[in-house]
Chains A and B, each alone.
Chain A
Amino acid sequence: MLKTLRLSFSLKNTYRVNGILHSLKQIPLLGRLLPAALYQVRGLKIFANVLSILWEFVSIFLFKCIYFLTMVCGLGVLCRSAPSQLTFLHILLFLTLIGSYMNTSLFDPTRDKYYAMILMRMNARSYTLVNYGYALLKTVVGFLPFTILFGLDRGVPLWLCLMIPFCVAGAKLTVAAYSLRDYEKNGYVRNENKLQKFAWLLTGVLLALAYIPPAVGVVLPLEISAVLWLVWIPAGIVSLRRVVTFRYYREINQELLAQMFIQMDTVKKAAKTASEKAISADASITSRKKGFEYLNELFIKRHRKILWKSTTRIAGICAILSGGVLLLMLLSPGTKADINQMVMTWLPYFAFIMYMINRGTSFTQALFMNCDHSLLTYSFYKQPGFVLKLFQIRLREIMKINAVPALVIGVGLSLILYVSGGTDNPLNYVVLLVSVLAMSLFFSIHYLTVYFLLQPYTAGTEMKSGTYRIVMILTYAACYALMNLRLPILVFGAACIAFCVLYSIVACILVYKFAPKTFRLRT
């Protein structure tokens, strides 16, 4: 028993540690400093081991904490009409029922299990039982502090707080035992990641039972609640016997993990088919153009679904929202002053909105997956003149795509500004419209430039550039930070326009200088 536990831990730990070392190697600069033989370096190994153990603790407590803060207490706050003690027990009970079949650990096809039981041929029964026991222990230990902390705070009796973690484990055990019996009888192997329709329906019903009655002030009385909780303890004890004596763990796991193995193999294929699905099969699509314009027109037309449909939808939503605000001001003129104030100072906020709605990432991704991924393997495609020609054409296209919602937002904002009382300086209208357009131009150029300069994918469509990831994160962080900025339209607008224009010029120069060399498949 102990040996199995030790072995399965060291196996899990080994690949976790290697995983950590591998991701360290992906970080630019740092990766270059690390030796190729980093998997041998003792110091690094110890460091990664510490991280790995920390992660184990985090996984015991942190997720439970988040679970209590959001699902149980967070949403529970909405149900103020019922006593908080009963609401807490009520919601937690129904969520536990859902967890008992959605989060079993026994029927979760994981990599650890695959490595241990299939590749290493460990004894399936003892491996499963030891790890299942450990998972249940983690559940109890992880739940205990939070049931006490949050439970006592809401006036749940201490004895019940102490019992609840065991009830949760009991519920899980009962469902596990039932599923094992189902296998013995019908040969059906459950996979908790592939629930059947019935299970989804049940989840919907249980979720509704968890939140709707408390929201309208109806909760289970303490006695009934306590009984419904405690019943899982004897049920769990009875089930434990079945789980321990069950004889077909190898069969079950082999079937469960066989599906998983196929999945691992097909993840890449799935990404490929997903991007191929975006290609329109409409045979009437043709083009009369020539050369790269021909290629581009066919690409845009056959990818209309992911490029233009979503951008027109976003533009439509923006139009409706602007219309809504205009209507609000007409119906209750008292809001005008506030809205005017907002529009005058909230322009930086729109940097983030423009970030969210721009189609840059999906455009470059589709470009790579369905077009450049293959064409970059042909040398004619990589001739410097052609790379630049392609950049021009694509920049034009992505600018068009992003400009539609930007135009709607710009016009909408100007209208809102006008209706809400206007401004002393008519230049504000112009700056408003132009700066929103400039932002859309910025995002168009930004994504395409980064794509042409860093081209992060390999021929196997694997993302391989740490720098690319970091640039993406920085873009997000910068836009997010701008949200907290409150500046008058003229100040921010002028700065924004200047920045966007400058950036665009620099970006184009960089592309012209470097893209013919950098626009390649990663190896």
Chain B
Amino acid sequence: MRFIIEHLSKRFEQKEVLKDIDFTFQEGKIYGLLGRNGAGKTTLFNCLNRDIKADGGAFFLEENGVGREVAAEDIGYVLSTPTVPEFLTGREFLKFFLDINGSSIENPKSLDEYFDMMSIMPEDRDKLLKDYSHGMKNKMQMLINIIAQPKILLLDEPLTSLDVVVAEEMKQLLRSLKEGRITIFSTHIMDLALDLCDEIVLLSHGELEVVEKSNLDNQEFKEKIIAALKEETYA
């Protein structure tokens, strides 16, 4: 499976944020999306998730050489600030999700197995989500986004505000999930990107480009990335 973006463009009035995004993502890899503030990472995600309409271009999934439209359920989008329906308990939210998506989930597990998988403690499972801590809300959001096993998983700065233990759990989880899907992960933390991602992709001048690691060591690789990003003149 490949995820192909062709000539995607988006402008806000005079400002051309996405100029000509032309890129092919491969199955089974985690892509680290780096870019300066204001480079358009969130805009790109919003376009892919169809929260905003792109001005031009197309994107589609290619399976066994056949291209097809990306449907809403193909994409999981994890936001940096976790949002969960406050009036439900964790268990109710999960049950609701499974109720309406049950048919499309391969070998579904029991609710408690899912909670165990995310290490959400038994005593928290029947609490209203409004009383969940930030980290737990984040786990809940991640859980809902991965149960349906979307083909594409978009993560916008997902680990930045988590404590070190939860962040480590999430990293492990993402690594274990990468088979069979495309994970695109935007972050400002270079070490995290280098640690977790298989490919580093830069969004600069409204275009996407891979930074080849070739035979550089980590330090040299970092310097190469920074040098590439510095060309961009965003503040």
Contact = CB atoms under 8 A, between A and B. Distances in A.
The answer to whether A and B belong to the same complex is yes
Interface of A: 35-37, 276, 279, 281, 283, 290-292, 294-295, 298-299, 302-303, 370-371, 373-375, 377-380, 382-383, 386, 459, 520-521, 523
B52 A523 contact: yes
B234 interface: no
Given A379-B73, A379-B76, A370 B86 contact: yes
A279 B87 contact: yes
Interface string B220-232: 0000000000000
A394 B93 CA distance: 18
A129 B42 CA distance: 47
A454 to B, nearest CB: 15
Interface in B34-87: 46, 49-52, 71-73, 75-77, 79, 81, 83-87
Nearest to A383: B72
A37 to B, nearest CB: 8
B148 A276 contact: no
A379 B77 contact: yes
A380 to B, nearest CB: 6
B101 interface: yes
Nearest to A275: B86
A248 to B, nearest CB: 39
18 contacts: A35-B13, A36-B13, A37-B14, A279-B86, A279-B128, A281-B128, A291-B99, A291-B100, A298-B88, A302-B87, A377-B141, A379-B73, A380-B72, A380-B100, A383-B72, A383-B73, A521-B51, A523-B52
A167 B172 CA distance: 73
Nearest to B84: A374
Contact of B96 (A281, A295, A379): A295
A371 B14 CA distance: 35
Contacts of A374: 83-86
B188 interface: no
A386 B81 CA distance: 24
A171 to B, nearest CB: 48
B77 A298 contact: no
Contacts of B101: 380
B183 to A, nearest CB: 15
Contacts of A281: 128
B120 interface: no
A380 B141 CA distance: 12
Interface in B141-197: 141, 144-145, 148, 150
A298 B126 CA distance: 14
Given A380-B72, A380-B148, A523-B52, A294 B99 contact: yes
Given A374-B86, A377-B141, 15 more contacts: A35-B14, A36-B14, A279-B128, A290-B99, A291-B99, A294-B92, A294-B95, A294-B96, A370-B87, A378-B145, A379-B77, A380-B73, A382-B72, A383-B72, A523-B51
B162 to A, nearest CB: 18
Contact of A291 (B73, B76, B96): B96
B43 to A, nearest CB: 8
A371 B73 contact: no
A489 B148 CA distance: 56
Given A295-B96, A380-B73, A371 B46 contact: no
Nearest to B145: A378
B154 to A, nearest CB: 10
A279 B130 CA distance: 9
A380 B92 CA distance: 16
Contacts of A37: 14
A35 B13 CA distance: 8
Nearest to B72: A379
Given A281-B128, A379-B75, A383-B72, A370 B49 contact: no
Contact of B130 (A276, A290, A520): A276
Contacts of B86: 276, 279, 370, 374
Contacts of A299: 87
A370 B141 CA distance: 15
Contacts of B76: 379
Contacts of B83: 373-374, 377, 459
A379 B85 contact: no
B77 to A, nearest CB: 6
B77 A377 contact: yes
Nearest to A384: B72
A523 B85 contact: no
A298 B15 contact: no
